[in-house]
Amino acid sequence: MSDWTTLVAAEDLAAALGCDDLIVIDTRTSLSDRAASEQAYRDAHIPGARYADLDRDLSDHRKPGGGRHPWPDAADFVATLGRWGVTPQHQVVVYDAADGALAASRLWFLLRVLGHRRVAVLDGGWQRWSALGLPTDAEVPAPQATRYEADYDARRLLDAQQVRSLLDSGGLLIDARAGERFRGEVEPLDKVAGHVPGARNRAFALNLEDGRFKSPQALAQEFAPLLQGRAPQQVAAMCGSGVTACHHLLALTHAGFDGAGLYTGSWSGWIEDPQRPVATGQA
């Protein structure tokens, strides 16, 4: 089995099922019905897959000021990894319903910012796996608990003040929300519409073609006008709550631009302080 660090094709994952160093994690998420998401996992999933809940396992709602999906502390997240039986040596593959836009890319970045290199998102997700008629199972595994010791690379996790500093120093903040939300024309989730002044908009859906990620070459060409020669360390992504922004971080890494950061609170965190400025329109 090769080392997979960004994306893995369904056919390649199917061929690797049963390998001792492989752990698969199902992150299928419905923001409107969490219970239905976990029930879908219990009904059928990739054989051996654990289940990760976006709110319970990949967020920490005890933390104020962190937006709708507050970033979990490293100690809590590595404890969750331990319960799943994950060690730093495992090849981890994560998937969600289709395009990796919700919890799959979030879990991918959580692991990457811990320093876990061998983690990839299933390209096309459960939708493509099912369409190909690949194996499924309804048995819920009982993994042997392990101990995972690591801490986040804090340089890649930005708060509101660090976002301001990034923009003031000529860095790039990419907002992954749809254009109409970025421009402030509609806001279905948060109490204030608009965007962080100075941010640039690229909807995460632009990373995809027919439900799968575009090639590294195509993504590199499309991101280049935004990056304008900036190093990845001068770039951060945001969205509504720090979830779909991770889709951009995955796409950037797949395109060869590894090292960008995440504004963890994103738009929902930004507007928790009414003193922070809000922009509308395209720029």
Rounded Cα gap, residues 81 and 52, in angstroms:
10
| pLDDT band, residue 1 (cuts 50/70/90) | low
The pLDDT score that the predictor gives to residue 219 is: 98
Instruction: Say if residue 283's pLDDT is above 80.
Output: no
Rounded Cα gap, residues 21 and 127, in angstroms:
25
Instruction: Say if residue 185's pLDDT is above 90.
Output: yes
What average pLDDT does the chain have? 95
Instruction: Say if residue 117's pLDDT is above 90.
Output: yes
The pLDDT score that the predictor gives to residue 65 is: 79
Q: Which residues are catalytic?
A: 239
> Structure tokens of 169?
């120093």
* pLDDT tens-digit series, residues 20-60: 999 999 999 887 777 888 999 999 999 999 999 999 999 99
Helix, strand or coil for residue 201? Answer: strand
pTM value surpassing 0.95: yes
Rounded Cα gap, residues 91 and 191, in angstroms:
40
